[in-house]
Amino acid sequence: MSRSPAAGSRSWQPAYIALGSNLDHPAAQIVAARAELGRLPQTRMVLASRLYASPPMGPQDQPEFVNAVVGLLTQLTPQDLLSALKAIEQRCGRPPDAPRWGPRIIDLDIIAIGRLQIDMPGLSVPHPGAAVRNFVIRPLADIAPALELPGMGCVAGLLARLGDAGLRILPEPQAC
């Protein structure tokens, strides 16, 4: 006898989230944000890249960034996932009016959700800048080199074009 899914249940979708920080012990901020992502409802964190140091994008008079990418399986809608990411950013101390490309305690961006293509105010999937940012593509290649970003190409191919100039692998911070 087969069971039908419960009313309102959603299928599991893979989602890839980029994390970045350059303030207040950035590597520790990334580790804390990863832990928060692992506690999201209807979501499981299944993959995590290494940590990478990268020069800042935009104004150069700020500390270098620490970047990483995680792979999730989620039943959240794209809008609910975005809301959850914004809530994590606020809990971690990021002001909602943080300047674009400026220093930040934490930045969480949806890179891709399955094969979805979304273009609406406040949410674009895949992330429109992902294909030209080696600090996103390099860690994404750690966990999903064969991933096809809809309309952009395969992660391994994007990395081959971008290279990893300016990036350094960082050690994981020690747990308390």
Q: How many CB atoms lie within 10 A of CB 150?
A: 14
Residues forming the active site: 94, 104, 107, 109
Q: Give the list of residues 6+ apart from residue 156 with CB closer than 8 angstroms, or none.
A: 141, 145, 146
Distance in angstroms (rounded) separating the CA atoms of residues 148 and 134: 16
In 3D space, the residue among 110, 104, 117, 111 whose CA is nearest the CA of residue 80 turns out to be: 110
| Concatenated DSSP letters of 65-121 | EEEEEEEEEE-S-HHHHHHHHHHHHHHTT--TTPPTTS--S-EEEEEEETT--EEET
